[in-house]
Structure 1
Amino acid sequence: MRIIIVDDEMLARGVMREYLAAHADVEIVAECANGFEAVKAITELEPDLVFLDMQMPKLDGFEVAELAGGKTRFIFATAFDQYALKAFEVHALDYLLKPFSQQRLDQALAHARASLAAGSGQRDAEAAAVSAAARDVAATRVRPAERVLIRDGARVHVIPAEKIEYVEAQDDYVQIHSDGKAYLKNQRMAELEEQLDADKFIRIHRSYLVNIECVARIEQAGKDSHQAVLHDGTRLAISRSGYQRIRAVMQ
């Protein structure tokens, strides 16, 4: 089993390395001290399993899991218990609360072995169950996302939410427009809309989600149609239902 350890504390990585040494079938292929290093290593090395800390410099554990993609299997190892429920969103196999014992790690590793051995059918079943749990967790979110992460090959773009001007739907992707640049992200519009602040981002059309602070004015485009004109001159179509929503917040 090829494993990557991700933790910003050298001592914590040492403890994990010592515990894993008791397992002859384990090969530690990388150790990472921050989120950016972790995303790069996971992408390049494609490990079977990642032991992932939660609070780290640059990117936190959930952001690493999001950027690393759906194939990677994670076990979170953290001193914070409040993230355990949200760990289901990224298909975590287990959640180790520091300080944990050798026995507790052995138990988590056994679970990981069983999951990997079960094959794709088991993974599909787990994914379906976790997706349902994730929707329930997402529904309880109170704080909107403060930034959006976009992976571009080995690079990671971190876009502050307030810098997003508008978002355009493109099938299973969204194109995020910010500071004159466009970034393509593999995510559905409805999912991103749930994550952003509903008081600032308005769905004006099935294809457009706009930052209300970037709208200069609304113009009539035809007899029964309107468009939003942004401060940079960009024009976006507004649907009938979108017109009612944007007028309500701009009055």
Structure 2
Amino acid sequence: MIKYIIVDDEHIAHEIIKGYCDVLPNLTFVQHCYDAIEAMECLKTNEVDLIFLDLNMPKLKGFEFLKTLQKAPKVIVTTAYQEYALEGYELNIVDYLLKPFSFERFIKAVNKVDVSVKEVSTVSNIKKEEESLFLRSNKKHVQVKYQDILFVEATGNYIKVVTSDKEIQVREKISDIMSLLPEDAFFQVHKSFIVAKKHINEIEGNRILIHDFVIPIGKVYKNNLKRLFE
């Protein structure tokens, strides 16, 4: 689980972000903080993986607060000011959300948080197979567990995520989906295909067999196959 706090001086911002987070099963709320000083005190006594951080706050501005932290949790900036985006990425923030932001945009930001890296919290031992991501398909958000994904196929401007019991079509680039998948469990074997290692039945010549599906292996991706046997 990703333990998070909200740091913002506006109550309505807390309500919106908390409301979005309550829908996502991999997020656990820790505390509301209405300025940076409250956030500092919270971080002293709580294990936090993610901060939703506003920039224009009293006492101490968002980035000034961030610079005071020796080992900062992951940070998603939530602000109405786009002019500070460059500085934010120089501080290694995960994402920069401009208010008002949609639930879809919010999910994309949260999906970028890599919970396998625990610089602050060492409590969570959740396996990648138990995690999931949300995909937007046909105007709704579908939760898909990593362990259920057989392979991903790029088809034109869309990708098709194939599980053991369904296919989900998403308007995304295959490279964007690859960045969200656990790298030790998924491998790109063709410009149009990503496969799940655990579901591979056979590798024969230039093709991979997964259930009743045949996946081609691209020449430039053959080196990726070596990692399958490590």
TM-score normalised by structure 2 residue count: 0.52
Counting matched residue pairs gives: 158
8 A contact 1:176–1:182 mirrored in 2: yes
Equivalent residue number for residue 116 of structure 2: 142
> Compared with structure 1, are the counterparts of its residues 130 and 189 closer, same or farther at alpha carbon in structure 2 (3 Å cutoff)?
farther
Distance 1:163 1:95 in 2: 42
- Which runs of 5 or more structure 2 residues have no equivalent in the other structure? 1-9, 34-41, 58-77, 96-108, 118-127
Distance 1:128 1:94 in 2: 13
Does 2:202 match 1:217?
A: yes
Structure 1 position 195, deviation (Å): 2.0
When the two chains are superposed, the root-mean-square deviation of aligned CA atoms in Å is 4.2
Tell me: CA distance 1:139–1:58, structure 2 relative to 1, closer, same or farther (3 Å): closer
For 2:56 and 2:155, locate their aligned partners in 1 and report how far apart those are by CA, in whole Å. Answer: 35
User: What is the letter of the counterpart of residue 217 of structure 2?
Assistant: I
Secondary structure at 2:225 match in 1: helix
Corresponding position of 1:227? 207
Of the candidates 16, 23, 27, which is equivalent to residue 51 of structure 1? Answer: 16
Match of 1:236 in 2: 215
Deviation at 1:139, TM superposition (A): 9.1
Farther-moved stretch of structure 1 (51-60 vs 167-176): 51-60
**Per-residue Cα deviation, 1:58-101 (whole angstroms, up to 9, x for no partner):** 41598xxxxxxxxxxxxxx84676322xx4xxxx75599xxxxx
Q: Distance in 2 between matches of 1:170 and 1:130?
A: 34
| Matches of 1:58 and 1:139, distance apart in 2 | 16
State the match for 2:105 in structure 1. Answer: none
Task: Determine the structure 1 residue equivalent to 2:100.
Answer: none
Aligned residue in 1 for 2:174: 189
Distance (whole Å) between structure 1 residues aligned to residue 26 and residue 229 of structure 2:
38
The structure carrying a bigger helix percent of its residues is: 1
Residue of structure 2 equivalent to 1:105: none
List runs of 5+ in structure 1 lacking aligned partners.
1-15, 21-47, 63-76, 97-110, 116-121, 221-225
Identity, % of aligned positions: 12
Answer whether contact 1:54 1:78 (CA < 8 A) is retained: no
Bigger radius of gyration:
1
The offset of 1:55, in angstroms, is 8.7
Return the offset for 1:178: 0.7
Distance across 2 between alignment mates of 1:238 and 1:59: 35
Note the C-alpha offset of 1:240. Answer: 2.3
Residues 206 and 50 (structure 1 numbering): CA distance in 2 closer, same or farther, change over 3 Å? farther
